[in-house]
A and B are shown apart, each in its own frame.
Chain A
């Protein structure tokens, strides 16, 4: 049960890493995001991510549109009428990123083993293995990973795996001027997030909520979780994602029954036909 869904406290060890370092992650506190997009730029620079199109969307200040093969951080901008009804506006900004799920569907369905669990508990694509089958793309419940058309392989955030190995924090967290993006051991981040949420609630921001922090949720908790000021779908996030492989045993059961039906049906009719 624990390996396909539900809480899994030690992902790296379960993936076969002996004596792994503590699991790390991102806590993105959108209440202090100022929409500067330094994270997007730092990510592109450090990881040499190609250009993703120079478009003008008219969606507030968002011309990146979404996470994808060539956008590993994406700052969402939402313009809303203010809650107090004085006719004013409020501007929500949130830097989205791969969630590095505890139960990562992209990793589960990858047929080549190109996607793997690192010793830090993060999920990374090995580009020298990926054969571009594209299965990870519809498997991701957040719509993060994508096939890059130019080279045919799948790409996404690595949580700067190369930097982690050198004891550095990921480029986006390093560049964030307001500490909206915080990097660290996941346990510590969860405590920090709970404190911040309590603070905001006391201050009267009752809409503040955490997203992706619960190890009991459908993906076993996210390695990158968020503090949001509105419903997740407002930011383009699914409200209650579930890892698709949770139901894999059931899927095989039904497929087995269907295969038996096919075999039994054809064989029975052939045999009956012979006797006549």
Chain B
């Protein structure tokens, strides 16, 4: 029932704990008493969400974000390895980048409603669409990563190899972080309001993934500075996540509840574990465990963010409460209290 009391004294403030809200329906009415929890202090249309959740399959899109991050950061790692003359690290990172970006693009195409129309992504150049920008980015990055890997393995065309390695290292960081803009550029408040920190979460998480791959596949003697990079990546991700949730306030709630809460907890535990053990992973087995947890943590981070956005879109309170607070603040600023509410417009 969407039943509420309307008073002549005004609409707002007169109706705390309106029965129409889903929270009140669940806890208040069934218990036979009105709830006064802040959750319930807004009207909703039968508790129905205002926003539509993104129609993306988590395995496709979170996988696409994770693998894109793995690829992008691996390319930077590979360029550094080339410069430092560390061929084994370059091999792992270049092949890893090529494999990851290949599967990543396949996942993106798989998620389309009409996969055969994937090339439509490139029929326009549209800076207002992060997905369009990202597609162009992939169109440059993908072949670069491909040439970098092929020339490295075959040792053919060294000059083309060096150019494509540099190009992949320069565009890789954008591939790893643009996906945060893609999520932030939506009406989903938990995503949109985190547009300052989310790129850093993804950047750190991508560093974890790329170093995780190297730590897992290389023998400990060849880990070298990758260990330090893993630690740095983990610290960046965890610090950015923490800051993000603190700034989000009410909108961080989806990260603490339900499936998104579990995913966040798992992701952060694995990332922390991987990052902290990275500097001391001196055996093959330790490298595998440490690298594995960094990779898994990075993947779960993307799943957690995607799931939190879903939970946020599904509950109208995350849409209504911040907007109403903002609107009330604006109204207070604009109209001095001595002004009577206008009766007509003329």
Interface residues of A (CB under 8 A from B): 4, 57, 59-60, 65-66, 68, 76, 78-85, 90, 105, 108-114, 129-135, 137-147, 151-154, 194-195, 197-198, 201-202, 206-207, 230-231, 233-241, 244-245, 247-248, 250-252, 254-255, 257-263, 265-267, 269-274
| Contact assessment for A274 and B84 in the assembled complex, using a CB-CB cutoff below 8 Å | yes
B1-32 residues at the A interface, CB under 8 angstroms: 1-8, 11-12, 20
| Contact assessment for A240 and B327 in the assembled complex, using a CB-CB cutoff below 8 Å | yes
The segment from B94-102, B150-158, B171-179, B282-290 that touches chain A is: B171-179
| Contact assessment for B203 and A258 in the assembled complex, using a CB-CB cutoff below 8 Å | yes
A202 to B52, CA, bound (A): 38
Residues in A with CB closer than 8 Å to B77 are: 266, 270
Interface size on B, residues (CB 8 A): 104
Given contacts A105-B187, A109-B128, A131-B118, contact A262 B177 (CB under 8 A): yes
| Contact assessment for B186 and A153 in the assembled complex, using a CB-CB cutoff below 8 Å | no
B139 lies within 8 A of chain A by Cβ: no
Min distance, Cβ A276 to any Cβ of chain B, angstroms: 8
Min distance, Cβ B277 to any Cβ of chain A, angstroms: 17
Choice from B177, B185, B313 contacting A109 with Cβ under 8 Å: B185
Choice from A197, A254, A263, A274 contacting B169 with Cβ under 8 Å: A263
B131 lies within 8 A of chain A by Cβ: yes
16 contacts between A and B (CB under 8 A): A81-B5, A109-B131, A110-B129, A135-B131, A135-B182, A141-B187, A207-B6, A234-B44, A244-B185, A244-B186, A251-B130, A251-B181, A255-B181, A259-B177, A263-B169, A270-B225
The segment from B141-149, B251-259, B261-269, B316-324 that touches chain A is: B316-324
Residues in B with CB closer than 8 Å to A83 are: 5-8
Residues in B with CB closer than 8 Å to A259 are: 173-174, 176-177, 199, 203
A145 to B53, CA, bound (A): 11
Residues in A with CB closer than 8 Å to B343 are: 198, 201-202
Given contacts A111-B132, A112-B121, A270-B80, contact A138 B43 (CB under 8 A): no
| Contact assessment for A114 and B6 in the assembled complex, using a CB-CB cutoff below 8 Å | no
Min distance, Cβ A105 to any Cβ of chain B, angstroms: 6
Choice from A82, A141, A147, A262 contacting B113 with Cβ under 8 Å: A147
Min distance, Cβ B79 to any Cβ of chain A, angstroms: 7
A247 to B313, CA, bound (A): 19
Choice from A238, A248, A254 contacting B319 with Cβ under 8 Å: A238
